[in-house]
């Protein structure tokens, strides 16, 4: 069956946007004569993405990639920070990794009332009131803490550092619930904070939001077959789109 939106279309319309939001000045290119280590940590929105991304890297760059996939269901960005600060084995992996990706849910660092958007319920309910960039500042601070540790552990070593914003799976449900405008404002504020922090560190922010919901953030990713049958997580096509978004950012490095 012909899908209304194909994966090449997703990749093409995100390419220009993502390259504009890509990393800053490149310090060095990674050596493809030696394997690259990739440390990937996320909540369930990252299930399957690390391996799909690894496959793209190996095919395009002709280099072996050793992937350390720490995608874990329910993982918050606060818990991700704990792994970077307190888990010695994980910190050792980061210290040796040429590519590092960090992502986590905003539980404990995002606005509490944005939780009303983070479900697939269609019933009418109150819209979130705390959905501005200022409301998302604590989330940005947690992400800064994580990148500070990356810079500490990778000091003097060229490194590809990547973060990402969130796709909005239940946008159709927001519409039925009468909260689309407020939830979209919150999602966009979150995405803006992620980009802001990435820019501060010379990293690059992949926009899964643009890839799944379109650059105007008004498209239903379920209609594009990017969401699984549970209505929330990514489908296999969604995983491929997420990996492609990361891949098109390239592999320019920053040297902490």
User: What's the pLDDT tens digit per position in 61-116?
Assistant: 999 999 999 999 999 999 999 999 999 999 999 999 999 999 999 999 999 999 89
Contact 224, 212 (CB under 8 A): yes
* Residue 142: pLDDT over 70: yes
More confident residue, 148 or 12: 148
Mean pLDDT of 177-189: 97
pLDDT at 122: 82
Mean pLDDT of 122-134: 90
Mean pLDDT of 155-175: 97
User: What's the pLDDT tens digit per position in 5-64?
Assistant: 334 444 443 433 343 334 444 567 899 999 999 999 999 999 999 999 999 999 999 999
Pairing of strands 36-41, 204-206: unpaired
User: What is 7-25+33-247's CATH superfamily?
Assistant: SGNH hydrolase (3.40.50.1110)
Domain locations in the chain as residue ranges: 7-25+33-247
User: What's the pLDDT tens digit per position in 191-234?
Assistant: 999 999 999 999 999 999 999 999 999 999 999 999 999 999 99
pLDDT at 123: 79
Q: What is the CB neighbour count within 10 angstroms for residue 213?
A: 23
Distance CA 202, CA 206 (A): 13
pLDDT at 25: 46
* The residue count for the chain: 256
* Residue 125: pLDDT over 90: no
* Residue 146: pLDDT over 50: yes
Distance CA 17, CA 214 (A): 11
Token digits of residue 139? 């989330």
pLDDT at 26: 52
* Residue 3: pLDDT over 60: no
The neighbouring-strand residues paired with 68 are 39
* Residue 175: pLDDT over 60: yes
């Amino acid at each position: 069956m012909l899908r209304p939106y194909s994966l090449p279309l997703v990749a093409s319309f995100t390419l220009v946007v993502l390259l504009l939001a890509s990393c800053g000045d490149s310090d060095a290119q990674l050596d493809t004569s030696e394997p690259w280590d990739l440390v990937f940590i996320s909540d369930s929105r990252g299930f399957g993405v690390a391996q799909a991304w690894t496959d793209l890297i190996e095919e395009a760059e002709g280099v072996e990639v050793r992937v350390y996939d720490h995608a874990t269901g329910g993982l918050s960005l606060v818990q991700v920070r704990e792994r970077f600060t307190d888990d010695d084995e994980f910190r050792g992996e980061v210290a040796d990794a040429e590519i590092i990706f960090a992502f986590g849910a905003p539980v404990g660092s995002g606005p509490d009332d944005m939780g009303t958007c983070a479900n697939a319920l269609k019933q009418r309910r109150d819209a979130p009131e705390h959905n501005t960039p200022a409301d998302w500042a604590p989330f940005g601070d947690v992400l800064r803490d994580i990148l500070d540790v990356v810079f500490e552990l990778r000091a003097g070593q060229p490194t590809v550092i990547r973060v990402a914003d969130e796709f909005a799976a239940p946008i159709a449900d927001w519409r039925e619930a009468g909260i689309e405008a407020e939830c979209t404002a919150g999602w966009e504020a979150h995405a803006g904070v992620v980009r802001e922090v990435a820019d501060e560190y010379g990293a690059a922010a992949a926009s899964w939001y643009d890839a799944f919901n379109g650059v105007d953030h008004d498209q239903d990713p379920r209609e594009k077959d990017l969401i699984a049958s549970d209505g929330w997580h990514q489908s296999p096509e969604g995983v491929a789109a997420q990996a492609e978004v990361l891949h098109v950012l390239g592999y320019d490095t920053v040297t902490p």
